[in-house]
Each structure stands twice: as structure tokens, then as C-alpha cells.
């Protein structure tokens, strides 16, 4: 296993490199199931919601996570309905058993890689990184809001 011997300063580039490296692993697994990253995000939003979600609520969730265009997010929901991973129930979209099973399978396939990537990092380092990433996320969301209003 490769270890970083000198700690680079955290910045937008190191954050981006880490994000895309981890996302590439996930996208490799998702491709084996014929599902895209955005579809997985939308499906996960439906599966993990505490209450049944309307299409508008799921679009808002996808937009909050990915900053995706609402038209693209709606198209993603349509794709999930067409694949029978989500089903309409009145004004709500509910995950199907197949949708839940797909996320369970993806989680099982990515678990060994996730353990290898995150394993052995001291808890205090993870806590510090978590605090920094939460702050960066908040600030970036605020900056985006200012730019788009």
C-alpha cells in the first residue's frame, strides 16, 4: 500500500484529487450495474429519506448533493422509474426492492476498497479532516448562492 510521507497542505486541488480518485472507484462499480453516479445519488436519496419523497423533493436533494441542473435531475428520476428502481405511488416516488437491492450490492462491492482507503487513518485525523471539509462545504455553498442570486 502506498503511503503519503509528507503531508501536502489541504487545498482545492488536493480535495479534488481525493474526490475524483474515490469517485472513480465507485463509478467503476456502478458501471457494472449499468447505473450512473447521478442515478445512484438520486436512488440513495429516495432510499434513505425518512418519509416518501415527491419528485420535487428528490430533485432538490440531487441538486443539493451534486449542484445538478434540475432538468438533468428530473431526467435521472425518469431513468430510475424506467429501470423500475423507483416507482410512482401517488405524488411520491418510492424505491423498489430492486432499487434497494442495487444499493446494497454496490455497498457490498465497494466495502473492501473503502476499508482499504480509509483504514488505518487515525481517528483524530479523520475528525480534523471532517471539520475542515464541513467548513469548506459550507463556505463553497455560500459562495455559490451569492454567485447565483
Cβ(127)–Cβ(134) below 8 Å: no
* Residues 98 and 130 grouped into a single domain: no
pLDDT value at residue 75: 97
* Residues 148 and 98 grouped into a single domain: no
Give the pLDDT mean for 101-123: 96
Quote the percentage of the chain above a pLDDT of 90.
91
* Residues 126 and 114 grouped into a single domain: no
* Residues 136 and 72 grouped into a single domain: no
What's the whole-number average pLDDT of the chain?
A: 94
pLDDT of 3 above 70:
no
Task: Determine, yes or no, domain membership for 3.
Answer: no
Give the pLDDT mean for 63-72: 93
Report, in angstroms and rounded to the nearest whole number, the Rg of the chain calculated over CA atoms.
Answer: 17
* Residues 65 and 101 grouped into a single domain: yes
* Residues 18 and 50 grouped into a single domain: yes
Read off the pLDDT of residues 46-67 as tens digits, 9 standing for 90 and up: 999 999 999 999 999 999 999 9
pLDDT of 91 above 80:
yes
Give the pLDDT mean for 124-149: 94
pLDDT of 1 above 60:
no
Task: Determine, yes or no, domain membership for 78.
Answer: yes
* Residues 76 and 149 grouped into a single domain: no
| Cβ partners under 8 Å of residue 9, min gap 6 | none
* Residues 22 and 57 grouped into a single domain: yes
* Structural domains counted in the chain: 2
pTM of this prediction? 0.87
Read off the pLDDT of residues 10-49 as tens digits, 9 standing for 90 and up: 899 999 999 999 999 999 999 999 999 999 999 999 999 9
Task: Determine, yes or no, domain membership for 1.
Answer: no
Q: In terms of residue numbers, what domain contains 137?
A: 122-149
* Residues 88 and 133 grouped into a single domain: no
Identify the CATH number of the domain in which residue 69 sits: 1.10.10.10
| Cβ partners under 8 Å of residue 17, min gap 6 | none
pLDDT value at residue 10: 87
Amino acid at each position: 500500500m502506498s503511503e503519503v510521507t509528507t503531508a501536502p497542505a489541504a487545498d482545492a486541488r488536493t480535495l479534488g484529487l481525493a474526490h475524483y480518485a474515490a469517485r472513480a472507484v465507485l463509478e467503476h462499480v456502478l458501471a457494472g450495474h449499468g447505473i450512473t453516479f447521478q442515478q445512484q445519488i438520486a436512488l440513495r436519496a429516495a432510499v434513505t429519506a425518512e418519509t416518501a419523497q415527491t419528485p420535487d423533493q428528490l430533485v432538490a436533494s440531487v441538486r443539493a448533493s451534486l449542484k445538478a441542473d434540475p432538468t438533468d435531475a428530473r431526467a435521472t428520476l425518469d431513468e430510475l422509474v424506467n429501470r423500475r428502481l423507483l416507482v410512482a405511488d401517488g405524488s411520491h416516488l418510492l424505491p423498489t426492492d430492486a432499487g434497494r437491492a442495487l444499493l446494497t450490492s454496490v455497498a457490498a462491492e465497494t466495502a473492501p476498497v473503502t476499508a482499504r482507503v480509509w483504514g488505518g487513518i487515525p481517528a483524530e485525523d479523520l475528525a480534523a479532516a471532517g471539520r475542515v471539509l464541513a467548513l469548506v462545504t459550507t463556505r463553497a455553498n455560500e459562495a455559490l448562492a451569492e454567485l447565483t442570486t
